[in-house]
Amino acid sequence: MTSDLSPAEQFFFDNAEYSWRPGKETEDAGRMRSGIMLAFAETVAKAADTRFMWVPDRNGEHAKDPDGPKTCELCCLYLGDDPIPIASIGCVDDATPEYKRVIEAELALAVIDKLPVPFNVVEAEP
C-alpha cells in the first residue's frame, strides 16, 4: 500500500487514470492526488443518496462487430428519486467491476458541486 492512503484511495491509485501538473508535482504525486479526489467523490456520492444505473448502450454500434468489445454500456448517475440523470457516460466497453467503480467515482467527481454533502463527510475531506 502506498503510504498514508486509505484502502479506497489506494484502490483508485492502482486502478484509475490520473493526471499531473508538470513543474508543480511529480507524476506519482499527481496519481496520488487523483486517487484521493476519486475516493472523496465516491464517499460523497454514497452519502448523498445517489444511485448508478448501468444499461446496454444501444448507440454503441461498434459492439456489434465480432472483433469488437463484448459489451458496450451506458452509466447514469441519479440523485435521489429524480428520473433525470445528473451525469452519464456512454460507450463503456467491456467494463470490469473495478473499472465500473472508477467510472462511477469519475461521474460523481464531475458533478460533486451538485451533490448535497453531509457535514460529517466535509469534515473528513483529505
Domain, as residue range, for 11:
7-123
Residue 1: inside a domain, yes or no?
Answer: no
| 2 in any annotated domain | no
List the Cα angle 65/68/70 in 5-degree steps. 100
Please state the pTM of the whole predicted model.
0.87
Q: Are strands 72-79 and 87-93 parallel, antiparallel or unpaired?
A: antiparallel
53 residue type, one letter: M
Give percent above pLDDT 90 in the chain. Answer: 69
**Between 59 and 22, where is the model more confident?**
22
What's the pLDDT score for residue 40?
94
R_g (Cα) of the chain, nearest Å:
16
Residue 21 falls inside a structural domain:
yes
Does 78 or 68 have the greater pLDDT score? Answer: 78
Can you list the positions of beta strands (E) in 1-126?
Answer: 50-56, 72-79, 87-93
Residue 29 inside a domain? The answer is yes
Q: Is residue 61 part of a domain?
A: yes
> What pLDDT is stored for residue 124 in this prediction?
47
The total domain count for the chain is 1
